[in-house]
Amino acid sequence: MDNSSLFDLTGKVAVVTGAGDGIGKASAQILAAAGASVAVSDLNPEKAQAVTDEILAAGGKSAAVACNVLNKDDLTNLISFTVSTFGTVNILVNNAGLGGGGRENPYNIDLEYVERIYAINVFAPWQLCKLAAPYMEKSGYGSIINITSMSSINNSPSMAIYGSSKAALNHMASNLAFDYGPMGIRINNVGPGATRTRALASVLTPEIEAKMLAHTPIHRLGEVSDIAGAVLYFAAPVSAWVSGQTLMVNGGGVQTLD
Ligand SMILES: NC(=O)c1ccc[n+]([C@@H]2O[C@H](COP(=O)([O-])OP(=O)(O)OC[C@H]3O[C@@H](n4cnc5c(N)ncnc54)[C@H](O)[C@@H]3O)[C@@H](O)[C@H]2O)c1
**Averaged confidence pLDDT in the chain:** 97
- Of the candidates 131, 133, 126, the residue with the CA atom closest to the CA atom of residue 169: 126
- Say how far apart CA 258 and CA 205 lie, in whole Å: 11
pLDDT in tens, 51-100: 999 999 999 999 999 999 999 999 999 999 999 999 999 999 999 999 99
**Cα-to-centroid distance, 18 and ligand 1 (Å):** 6
71 phi/psi in degrees, rounded to 5: -110, 115
Output the pTM of the full model: 0.98
- Look up the CATH architecture of domain 3-245: 3-Layer(aba) Sandwich (3.40)
Q: Where are the domains of the chain?
A: 3-245
Active site positions, annotated? 162
| DSSP code for 87 | S
256 ligand 1 Cβ < 6 A? no
Start-to-end C-alpha separation, the chain? 46
Nearest to 235 by CA among 185, 170, 177: 185
Q: 15, 30, 42, 73: which to mutate for ligand 1, most atoms within 8 A of CB?
A: 42
* pLDDT band of 258, cuts 50, 70, 90: confident
Gap from CA of 250 to ligand 1 centroid (Å): 17
| Ligand 1 close to Cβ of residue 44 (< 6 A) | yes
**For the segment 182-220, what is each residue's pLDDT rounded down to a tens digit?**
999 999 999 999 999 999 999 999 999 999 999 999 999
Does ligand 1 come within 6 angstroms of the Cβ of 25?
A: no
> Which atom of ligand 1 lies nearest, measured to the CA of 197?
20
User: Is the distance from the beta carbon of residue 149 to the nearest atom of ligand 1 less than 6 Å?
Assistant: yes
Give the pLDDT of residue 165: 98
Closest ligand 1 atom to 198 CA: 20
Distances 98 to 60, 91, 183 between C-alpha atoms, Å: 29, 22, 30
Q: Kindly tell me if the per-residue pLDDT of 1 is higher than 70.
A: no
Q: What is the pLDDT confidence band of residue 4, given thresholds at 50, 70 and 90?
A: confident
Give the pLDDT confidence score for residue 3 in this predicted structure: 81
Q: Are 105 and 42 in contact (CB under 8 A)?
A: no
Q: What is the pLDDT of residue 24?
A: 98
Q: Is pLDDT larger for residue 35 or for residue 258?
A: 35
